Amino acid sequence: MSRTNGTATLEPIKTAPIAPASLRSTDQPRLFQRVREQMDRAAEAVGLAPEVRKILSSPACEVGVNFPVRMDDGRIEMFSGYRVQHNNVLGPFKGGIRYHPDVSLDEVRALAAWMTIKCALVDIPFGGGKGGVQVDPATLSRREVERMTRRFVYALGANIGPGYDVPAPDVGTDARTMAWIVDTYAATLPPQERYRALSVVTGKPVSAGGSVGREKATGQGVVDLIECWAQDQRCKVADLSYTVQGFGKVGSWAARILKDKGAKLLAAQDVTGAIRSYTAEGLDADALAEHVKTTGGVAGFPGAQAISREAFFEVQADVFVPAALENQVTGETARLLKVRLVAEGANGPTTSEGDIVLRERGIAVLPDVLCNAGGVIVSYFEWLQNRGGAAWSAAEVDQRLREILERAYARVKEMAADKSLGWRDAAYAVALRRIEQVYAERGIFP
C-alpha cells in the first residue's frame, strides 16, 4: 500500500522471510537482564559514571508477600505478590500493580527498572517501582478480587505510602482496584492521618479522587508521540493506518483517539484472537471497545474477519501499536511486520533480537519508556492535585501532558542524532544522564 497525504508518500515495506527456528528459542533472556543490557549499552554510549551504572544494576528494595484470601465458597487460598522498588533518587517510587498468572519477581524487577528510566526521561520527580500478584483475575469473582486486593495492601503495609511508594493500575487492575487500595490503606492509618491516604495511589476513579484524563492518558500519550513522529515524516495522523495488539486500557484508548484523528484501524489482536478489517476504511475502534467490554475480547467482532496471530503481524499498515505484554515483537514476528513505525504502548514488547531485526529492516521505534510515559505523567498530575486539593480541567491535563512528551521526544531525538544511537538507546541515555546529574550533586551517603 502506498499512501499519499499531500506532503509525503509512504512507500510499502516488504516482508522478510520468516526466521529460522533456531533464532526463536534464544530470543527471550530473563527480562531484568535485558533491562540491564539496555542500560549498559546507553551508559557506554554516553560514558556514564560507573557508580551510577552499578547502583542501577540492582533494585533498592524487593518485598515479597504470601497472603491468605477467603474465597466465595469459604475456602482459603494463598497468593504471592511482590513490590519492587528500583530507585528513588528522583522522588518516590512509582509504578503500577499487575494481576496476571505470569507475574514473577524477575518481571516485576524489570518493570520497576523501566519506571526509573521512564520517569527520569520525561523528567518528573518520581523513581521506579512496580508490583504484582500472580493470579488470573478472570478466574475470580469481583468480591474475591476485592478481598485479594485489600489483603495484598495490608500485607504490603508501610512498604507503600503517599510520599514513599505510589502504585497505579497496570495489566489486570483498574481504577476500581485503586479505590480499594485507598480505602484499605486509609484503614491502616490513625484517624487523624487518613486524609493522606488519597495520594497513596494514582489512577483512581475521578469520583474518588482521580484526575480527569488519567484513564486515557497512556493511550493519549502514545498518540501524541505518533503525532510527533508523523510531523517529522511530514505526514498527518489522519493519513495513517494502524494495527493494535492488546485492546485493554492502553490499546483501546490509543485506538479510539487515533480513530478520532482520522487514522484507520486495520487489525487488532488480544488474548481471545485476532481480527482484521475487510475494507481500507478500517474497524470502528469505539464499537470494538464496547464489544471488548461486553464479551471480554476482540474475537467475534461483527463485520471483521478472524485471522491467525501470524496473519495479524503481517497486516500492512503504517503503525503497529503493541499494547499487551512483553516479548511480542521477537526476531520472528519483527520479520513479519509490514509497518513503518512500532509505537510501544506496552512495556518491553520488543525483545533484543526483535530490536535488531526492526533496525535492519528500517522500521522506526518509539520505545516504551517514551511512548507509554503518558500514564505516569498524568499520574504525577493526579498526585499533585491530591496533595494540593486541586482539580485541573481536561484541557489543562491534555496540554501539560503534550508539552512534557514533546520535550522528551525532542531530547531523545537530539541524543539519537548527537551520539548516532537508535531511539531506545537514546531514550535510556537521556534518562541515565538525568539520574547521574542528581547523584553527582547529592553524593552517596555517608
Q: Which residues are known catalytic residues?
A: 130
The least CB distance from residue 34 to ligand NAD, in Å, is 14
Strand 93-100 relative to strand 165-169, pairing? parallel
Phi, psi for 85 (deg, rounded to 5): -110, 105
Nearer to ligand NAD, 46 or 140 (CB): 140
Nearer to ligand NAD, 43 or 354 (CB): 354
Q: Which residue is nearest to ligand NAD (CB)?
A: 248
Half-sphere exposure of 396 (CA within 13 A, CB side): 9
Q: Which residues pair with 284 in a beta bridge?
A: none
The least CB distance from residue 235 to ligand NAD, in Å, is 26
Nearer to ligand NAD, 43 or 97 (CB): 97
Residue that is written with C-alpha cell 530507585 in the block = 87
Cell numbers for 14, please give them. Answer: 516488504
Evaluated on CA atoms 431, 435, 440, 441, the torsion sign reads positive
Phi, psi for 9 (deg, rounded to 5): -115, 130
Q: Please give the Cα distance from 264 to 284 (Å, whole number).
A: 9
Nearer to ligand NAD, 48 or 265 (CB): 265
Nearer to ligand NAD, 38 or 235 (CB): 38
Task: Of 377, 409, 329, 111, give the one whose Cα is nearest residue 220.
Answer: 377
Whether 406 contacts 224, CB under 8 Å: yes
Binding residues vs ligand NAD (CB under 6 A): 169-172, 218, 245-251, 269-271, 297, 323-325, 345-347, 372, 375
> Euclidean distance between the first and final Cα of the chain, in Å?
61
Q: Please give the Cα distance from 414 to 229 (Å, whole number).
A: 14
Nearer to ligand NAD, 46 or 242 (CB): 242
The least CB distance from residue 446 to ligand NAD, in Å, is 36
Q: Please give the Cα distance from 344 to 362 (Å, whole number).
A: 16
Residue that is written with C-alpha cell 559514571 in the block = 49
Cell numbers for 259, please give them. Answer: 480513530
Cell numbers for 100, please give them. Answer: 496476571
